[in-house]
Structure 1
Amino acid sequence: MAFDIDKYTATSVSVHWDDLDFEQFRTDPIPEGSLRTLRYMTDVEYHTVCYTRDLLTTPSHKEPEVSAFMTMWNREEFWHGEALAAVLAIHGITVDFDELKANRLKLGWKDRLDPIKQSVLGTLVGNDFVAVHMAWGAANELSAIAAYNRMAELEEHPVLAELLRRIAKQEARHVAFYTSQARDRLAASTRAQKFTRLALRKFWAPVGSSIMEKAEVVHVMNHLMSGPDGRKAAHKIDDSISRMPGLEGLTIVEDSLDKLGIAA
C-alpha cells in the first residue's frame, strides 16, 4: 500500500507526555546505565537537524514527497528529543542546545565537510541517490523502533515504557514512508539497487555512530542489542531490509554488532 504523504503531513503532531506522571521518576528513578543510554538517544534525536541539513544538498530535496516528509520528520524527531530530555531533567541531567552545539564543534572539519560529501555523492549518483537515502533512512528508523521497544522491555518502568512506546509509534510511520519509497525506487532501477547495497554494506553503522564516542555506541549496543533477545531484534531489522529489491541477504545490523564486539 502506498504511503499517503498528505494524510501524514495533516496528522503530524509532537509526541505528548504532559499526561504522564514524571514524578514517579523521583521515587522510582532510572538506573545510571539506562540514563546513559537515554542521553545517547536524546542527542541522536536532537542531531536530526544536521542529517536534514546534509540531505538538503542532495537530489532528495527536489522530490516533493520527500521534502514534505523531511519537514515533518525533523519536527517530530525534535520533540522526541524534548521528551527524553524531560526524563533526564527529572534525574538532574540537563541537555541544552549550547552543549549540543559544542559537541558538533568537536566534530570539526568532519561536520563541515559532511554536507559537501553528500552533495558530491548525490551529484555523481544522480537521482538514484534518493533510493540510497530512503533505504538508509528505513534502516535507521527500524533501528530506532527496536531500540525504544527494547528499552521499554528492559526497564519495565511504567512511565518510561509508555513514553518510549509513544515515540516508537511515531517512528513506525517514518519507517512506513522510507520503506515504501525505497521499495518503489529500488524496484525501478537495478543501478539504484547496486549503489544502495554497496552503501549499506560498506558504510552503514548504528545510528549515532558518526556523532558519539565509540565507547558510548558500544555501551548502548551492549545495553539494548546484546544476548539472544538483542540479536533477535537485530535479525528482525536485517530481515526487513533484505526484503527490499536488490538487498537480499544483507545483515548490516548484525554485522555492525559483531564489529563492535557485542555478545550474541
Structure 2
Amino acid sequence: MNSDSETATAPPETAGFDVREFARTAHGNHRATLDLRPLAEEPLDAESLRLVRALRDMERATLHRVRDLLVTATHKDARVTAFLTTWMFERFWIADALDAVLDASPATGDLPPSAGPARWAPAERRERRGPVARSLVAGITGTQIVAEHMTTGLVDEWITQAAYRRLAGASPAMASIINPVVEIKHRHSRFLAEEAERRLRRSARARRLTRRALRRTAWPLGSVDRSEHERTFFERQVFGDRRGRAEAHRIRARVAALPGIRPRVASIVESRLLP
C-alpha cells in the first residue's frame, strides 16, 4: 500500500494537543477584562490603529475561510473540524476585542478607507476560486488537501502573530490587550503544527500539494480579497523595517523546517511578505 493510501485509512491521531480541553477552555468575550482608558489618554498613532483595523478584518474573515475548508475533504476529519469550531469561536471574540480598541480610539474615524482596487498577481488566481470551484478541485485532490490546509493555516498564524507582536510594542496599554491574544493564538498554532508535521511526514503527495500552495498563496490568508493599498500597508508596517525583516526571516526558517518543504519554497514565502 502506498503512503497516500495509508494516510487516507489511518486511525485517529493521538497527538499531544487535546482538542476536548481546547473546546472546554475556549476564550470568549474579552471586553470585561480590557483596560481601554489609557487609549483615550495616550491615543495610538495612526499606523498602529490602522494595523488594529487590518487584524480585526482578518479575524472577522474566519467564517469565509472555514467555508472554503469545509467544501473539501477537510470536513471529513472529525479532529480537525472539532478544532475549527472552537478556533472560529475564539477568533470571533478576538475581532470583537479589536473592535473595542477601535471604538475607544479617538482617531479611528480619521483612518483612510480600507476598500479599493485589489492587487492582481497571476500566481494568486487559484485563491480567487469560489466555493463551487474549490469543491470540484478538492474532489480530485482528496484527503491530502488537509495537509495543505493545516500548513497554510500554520504559516498564517506565524505571520499574524508577528503583526500582533508589532502591535503590542505600540504602548503598554496595547501590550496588556494584545499579549493575551498572542497566547490564545499560540494554542492555535500548536494544533496546526502537530497536524501539518504529521500529515507532511506521511505522504509525498501531501508534500507536493503543500509546496505548490505555499508558492501561490497571498499572505496573510485572505489578502487576495483585500485592497492593494491595505496589503501594501500591512507588509510595510509588519515586515518593512529591520525588525520586520528579521521576523520574515524567522518565518522562512520555520517554513523550511517543515517536513518536505524545500528551502526555495520557504524563500518564496518570505519574499511575498516583504514590501
Common fold: TM-score over 0.5 = yes
Equivalent in the alignment of 1:164: 178
Counterpart for residue 26 of structure 1:
40
Deviations 1:152-175 (A, max 9, x none): 12x1x1121121111111111111
Choose the corresponding residue for 1:199, options 207, 213, 217.
213
Distance change (3 Å), C-alpha of 1:230 and 1:55:
same
Matched, 1:150 2:166: yes
Residue aligning to 2:254: 240
Question: Matched residues in 1 for 2:39 and 2:214: separation?
Answer: 39
Compared CA separation, residues 161 and 67, structure 1 to 2 (3 A): same
Structure with the larger RCO, 1 or 2 (CA within 8 Å, 6+ apart):
2
1:121 equivalent in alignment to 2:123: no
Deviates more, 1:195-204 or 1:166-175: 195-204
Partner of 2:237: 223
- Give unpaired runs (5+ residues) of structure 2: 1-14, 119-125
- What do the CA deviations read for 1:45-66 (whole angstroms, capped 9, x no partner)? 1111111111110111110110
CA distance in 2, matches of 1:74, 1:166: 17
- CA drift at 1:208: 4.0
| 8 A Cα contact 1:15 1:167, kept in partner | no
Among candidates 46, 55, 74, match of residue 41 of structure 1: 55
Q: Which amino acid aligns with 1:217?
A: R
Equivalent in the alignment of 2:20: 6
| Structure 2 partner of 1:139 | 155
Q: Deviation digits for residues 56-111 of structure 1, max 9, x if unmatched?
A: 101111101100000000011111100000000012548xxxxx9xx7xx9xxx99
Structure 1: how far apart are the matches of 2:96 and 2:268? 30
The one-character-per-residue Cα deviations of 1:7-42 (angstroms, maximum 9, x if unpaired) are 212211226342332111111001112211111111
One-letter amino acid of the counterpart of residue 138, structure 1: L
Amino acid at match of 1:52: V
Counterpart residue number, 2:196: 182
- What SS does structure 2 have at the residue aligned with 1:251? helix
Look up the equivalent residue of 2:156 and give its one-letter code: N
CA contact (8 A) 1:45 1:80 kept: yes
Supply the distance in 2 between the matched residues of 1:223 and 1:4 (Cα, whole angstroms): 35
CA distance in 2, matches of 1:197, 1:142: 17
Within 1, Cα distance between the matches of 2:254 and 2:148?
15
| Runs of 4 or more above 4 Å deviation | 110-113
Verify: 1:173 aligned to 2:190, yes or no. Answer: no
Query: Identical aligned pairs, as a percentage?
Result: 33
Matched, 1:130 2:146: yes
Distance 1:235 1:112 in 2: 28
TM-score (norm 2): 0.83
Query: Is the contact between residue 20 and residue 159 of structure 1 (CA under 8 Å) also seen in structure 2?
Result: no
